[in-house]
Amino acid sequence: MTKQKEELEHRLKLRNIKLADYDDIREIMVSIYKEPGGAWTRQELKNQLKVFPEGQICIEDNGKVVAAALSLIVDYTKFGDNHTYDQITGFGKFDTHDSDGDTLYGTDVFVDKEYRGMRLGRRLYDARKELCENLNLRSIIAGGRIPGYSKYYDQMTPRKYIDLVKSKEIFDPVLSFQLANEFHVRKVITKYLPEDTDSRAYATLLEWINIYYEKDEKLIGNKKSIVRLGLVQWKMRRFNNVDDLMQQVEFFVDTVSGYKSDFCLLPEFFNAPLLAEFNDMDASEAIRNVADYTDEIVTRMRDLALSYNVNIIAGSMPEYDGKKLRNVSYLCRRDGTVDKQYKLHITPDEQSYWGLQGGNGIKVFDTDAGKIGILICYDVEFPELGRILAEQEMDILFVPYWTDTKNAFLRVNTCAKARAVENECYVAITGSVGNLPRVENMDIQFSQAAIYSPSDFSFPHDATVAQASENAETTIVADVDLDLLTKQRKAGSVRNLEQRRLDLYSIHWKKKK
């Protein structure tokens, strides 16, 4: 082989960048980025190699760097979608790098002009994807220039231009390449690189999803991100005894557990059919007799939570200690522990017919699937309670209710939606349907179970995660993402909790004397 032929041979090698490569890198960057800022300085490259050497990749040919890709890891929730290039790179210092972050952020990819057409950019993108997978990061995100837009900016919007590039009606030297490499456009951002006149200061926010990503989970004490809720819209029917009642309860617990739900929610007074056994008594006496079954039902609910591996919010049941009759919701965790929440506000009807009294405390419950609160029916119509729970970092609010008419249901339903928005949490509600002839004060039912979310871009367009049909015995099984709540609280369009004027007002819980 002659010496001349040997010199013409390419010897490409993919490797990590070294500081000694700076002159080669600067030469490429200066030739490409004449307007958007030129090249990194030697000190800036040194900083990048110091904080994240694995993320700085190049391709050399016979010892000379001819292409490179730079990146860092970020906690993307700290920046959100409307960041600039300077913000995400810390103005070139790369002090935004976070080894505990979840996103690989691509800052630069560049190829020597003499090596265009050799698909070196694709090799660098593939190397980034491999790095993302090996580091178990959620995705790769990058801000992409659209240099071809300068020819069309007076004819169409950036969105229209991007759509035409997607449909291959227009070729953009950057965006067309990125789309071909499995990136999708999340949105258009402005002033990403203000000096980029070719792109008219617009940029695409691009993302590649790592389908192999597995969120790190601790063996003990892990907080789940995706939580599955199972809601039972319960039909009131006659039961001969507690065994019959619990047989129907177990059917629904088994059903939602079969879908690997983390929670099973039952309605307020789901055990009201047992009142039929005491039809010959006054209503207040009958409800006190039904309260005698509560301890047994709670014990059996706890056993179901254990055997079916699901946390059960056991609607609500009457509790009578010989002096006070109260309405209580039991939380039966799947680890075998039991907690309870009393209904605080008693409706005029409940007080008149039964002599119910309200409880005196409220709290957030820790579970293996997030922090939850429970407000029984009427309580959700008092916004102070939801706010107190939200201040204790509640993720999900459960509302078991019983309503006889649609207007009564609408009060509960409308207030539940409001609690989700104002407290930036999920709210799950369910009630009972059907009729109970000859059971005084519990004879008709109206319900439409639902799961509500905050109202912002990360959530369903109508802030409704799931909703049941009206007045039909059924279940809802749906997932809620607790990480989205964190994002909402830190970077939502509005931030109800964060932006309260605590200098003007606050809510305080008064200890009962």
Cβ(376)–Cβ(329) under 8 Å?
yes
The number of angstroms, rounded, from the C-alpha of 424 to the middle of its chain's C-alpha atoms is 11
281-290: Cβ within 8 A, 24+ apart: 283/353, 283/354, 283/440, 283/441, 284/325, 284/353, 284/354, 284/355, 286/440, 287/318, 287/325, 287/354, 288/318, 288/320, 288/325, 290/317, 290/318
DSSP string computed for 203-222: EEEEEEE-TT------SSSP
Q: Choose, from 132, 264, 332, 377, the residue flagged as catalytic.
A: 377
Phi and psi dihedrals of 493, rounded to 5?
Answer: -60, -40
Is the Cα torsion angle 348, 350, 353, 357 positive or negative in sign?
negative
Is the Cα torsion angle 117, 118, 120, 122 positive or negative in sign?
positive
In 321-375, beta strands by DSSP E: 325-332, 338-342, 365-367, 370-374
- Using DSSP bridges, classify how beta strands 396-400 and 64-74 pair: parallel, antiparallel or unpaired: unpaired
Residue that is written with structure tokens 């994240």 in the block: 52
For helices 242-258 and 294-308, give the axis angle rounded to 10 degrees.
30
**Is position 377 annotated as part of the catalytic site?**
yes
Cβ(396)–Cβ(480) under 8 Å?
yes
**Is position 223 annotated as part of the catalytic site?**
no
Distance CA 252, CA 449 (A): 15
Residue that is written with structure tokens 């609280």 in the block: 489
The number of angstroms, rounded, from the C-alpha of 154 to the middle of its chain's C-alpha atoms is 39
Q: Choose, from 207, 268, 381, 424, the residue flagged as catalytic.
A: 268
**Is position 487 annotated as part of the catalytic site?**
no
Cβ contacts of 106 within 8 Å, gap of 6 or more:
69, 70, 71, 128, 140, 141, 142
Return the bridge partners of 441, or none: none
Q: Which H or E run contains 233?
A: strand 226-235
Q: Choose, from 235, 340, 343, 417, the residue flagged as catalytic.
A: 343
Question: What residues are labeled active site?
Answer: 268, 343, 377
